[in-house]
Amino acid sequence: MTAPRVEVDLDAVEHNARTLVDRLAPLGIHVTGVTKGVGGAPEVAERMLSAGVAMLGESRMENVERLRAGGIAAPVLLVRSPMMSEVQQVVALTEASCNTEVRVVQALAAAATARRRVHGVVLMVELGDLREGILPEDLLAVAAAVLPLRGVQLRGIGANLACQHGVLPDPTNMALLDRLVGSVEEALALRLATVSGGSSVHLEWALSGAETGRVDDLRLGEAILLGVEPARRTPIAGLRTDAFRLVAEVIEAKVKPSAPWGRVGQAAFGPVPVPRDSGDRRRTILAVGQQDTDPSGLVPPPGMMVLGASSDHLLLDAGSTVLEVGDEVAFGLSYGSLVRATASCPTTYLTPTIA
Ligand SMILES: *Cc1c(COP(=O)(O)O)cnc(C)c1O
């Protein structure tokens, strides 16, 4: 089989999605299954939908195109603010998008009107993480500007945390979201269809018995795909953390000294600390590198250690395992490693037979 490749256990993805859908349902919260971690792979989206997610979330239009080309007809929410240059595509291929700029919503409205469509708009409000979001004091004015536009429907309000600065959901910021929803509804005399409270990092908050207020949607990617919560990257009880593996092939396996020799400058990807001498080690080179994935997020098999990587070579201390050229090594992946690996390596779908 070709290497490097990403192997996906679709049953594990479906199990995770179903478990989360079932845990959130009693709270009146549905799930938007976010597929950007796997580049909008239709095979993965299909399993999320079988598991009962209400909608799909994507950040890139090229991934949405892939979903549609793969026969996925479910509603898609674009979770990144549309680029001005892609509004035509956005209204053609998605049902709704997250927005923070009135000019963009105006462009969406014009594009949707021309196509005799109505595009849903979720206004993202800033709760302190300082990535995307309308400042709370500006939210009402933006909502009031969006409301009368033909071609768009103000669908709801959303928020995002823990993506830029790791700011976590807590009773204070989530209560603010609730109050903002209430004040927009009161001032504009309407009832918003949805409050999209956040992402995987909100699971702990939502399932802790906290007051979830008007939140009726979470946009979940990492928790479904990798089975971990993003704040500490710890496994979520009952979820599978083995859905994805990156398999790479050994191209050199030798016992070599552990410390380099000669005058030292920068390495291919910047300065690296010179390792201390721990004697001769089994140094194994795999044909995979920075171009294929984020090597720092790879989890090697027990007893092995990633020493570093350049664009096309990954250096592994194989410990006591004897590897030979042609052997394959399977790694677990962080979310960052997964995003890059699925974008540049072929994917193999494992569909275990059901006994
Ligand atoms: C990526 C993203 C998500 C999904 O985040 P996870 O941590 O993978 O659950 C949700 N909302 C927005 C706006 C995103 O960009």
How does residue 355 score in pLDDT terms, banded at 50, 70 and 90? very low
157 vs 276, which has greater pLDDT?
157
Task: Show which residues are catalytic.
Answer: 36
Which is the closest atom of ligand 1 to the Cα of 221? 8
Residue 271 has pLDDT above 90, yes or no: no
Ligand 1: residue of 13, 31, 34 to mutate (most ligand atoms within 8 A of CB) is 34
pLDDT of amino acid 352? 60
pLDDT in tens, 300-316: 999 999 999 999 999 99
Q: Could you tell me the distance, in angstroms and rounded to a whole number, from the CA of residue 194 to the centre of ligand 1?
A: 17
> Which residue's alpha carbon is at the smallest distance from atom 13 of ligand 1?
79
To 5 degrees, how large is the angle CA 137–CA 139–CA 142? 130
The pLDDT of 38-64, averaged and rounded, is 98
Residue 351 has pLDDT above 90, yes or no: no
Q: Could you identify the residue written with the tokens 């005058």?
A: 263
Secondary structure of the chain: what % helix, strand, coil (to 5)?
Answer: 35, 25, 40
The pLDDT of 281-300, averaged and rounded, is 97
Q: Could you tell me the distance, in angstroms and rounded to a whole number, from the CA of residue 163 to the centre of ligand 1?
A: 8
| Residue percentage of the chain with pLDDT more than 90 | 92
Residue 353 has pLDDT above 70, yes or no: no
CA distance 330 to 110: 49
Instruction: Find the residues whose C-beta lies inside 6 A of ligand 1.
Output: 34, 36, 59, 79-80, 98, 160, 199-200, 219-223, 230
9 HSE (CA, 13 A, CB side): 17
pLDDT in tens, 320-337: 999 999 999 999 999 999
pLDDT of amino acid 133? 96
Rounded to the nearest 10 degrees, the angle between the axes of helix 10-24 and helix 42-50 is 40
Residue 267 has pLDDT above 90, yes or no: no
pLDDT in tens, 140-149: 999 999 999 9
pLDDT of amino acid 270? 83
pLDDT in tens, 115-126: 999 999 999 999
Residue 1 has pLDDT above 90, yes or no: no
Q: Between β-strands 76-78 and 55-58, what pairing exists: parallel, antiparallel or unpaired?
A: parallel
Q: Could you tell me the distance, in angstroms and rounded to a whole number, from the CA of residue 254 to the centre of ligand 1?
A: 42
Least confident of 85-94, 162-171, 331-340: 162-171
Ligand 1: residue of 124, 201, 219, 234 to mutate (most ligand atoms within 8 A of CB) is 219
Which is the closest atom of ligand 1 to the Cα of 200? 9
CA distance 230 to 63: 22
pLDDT in tens, 233-262: 999 999 999 999 999 999 999 999 999 999
pLDDT of amino acid 69? 98
The pLDDT of 80-95, averaged and rounded, is 98
Task: Provide DSSP, 108-150.
Answer: HHHHHHHTT--EEEEEEE--SS-SS-B-HHHHHHHHHHHTT-T
Which is the closest atom of ligand 1 to the Cα of 132? 13
- Residue of 94, 143, 152 lying closest to 119 (CA atoms): 152
Mean pLDDT of the chain: 96
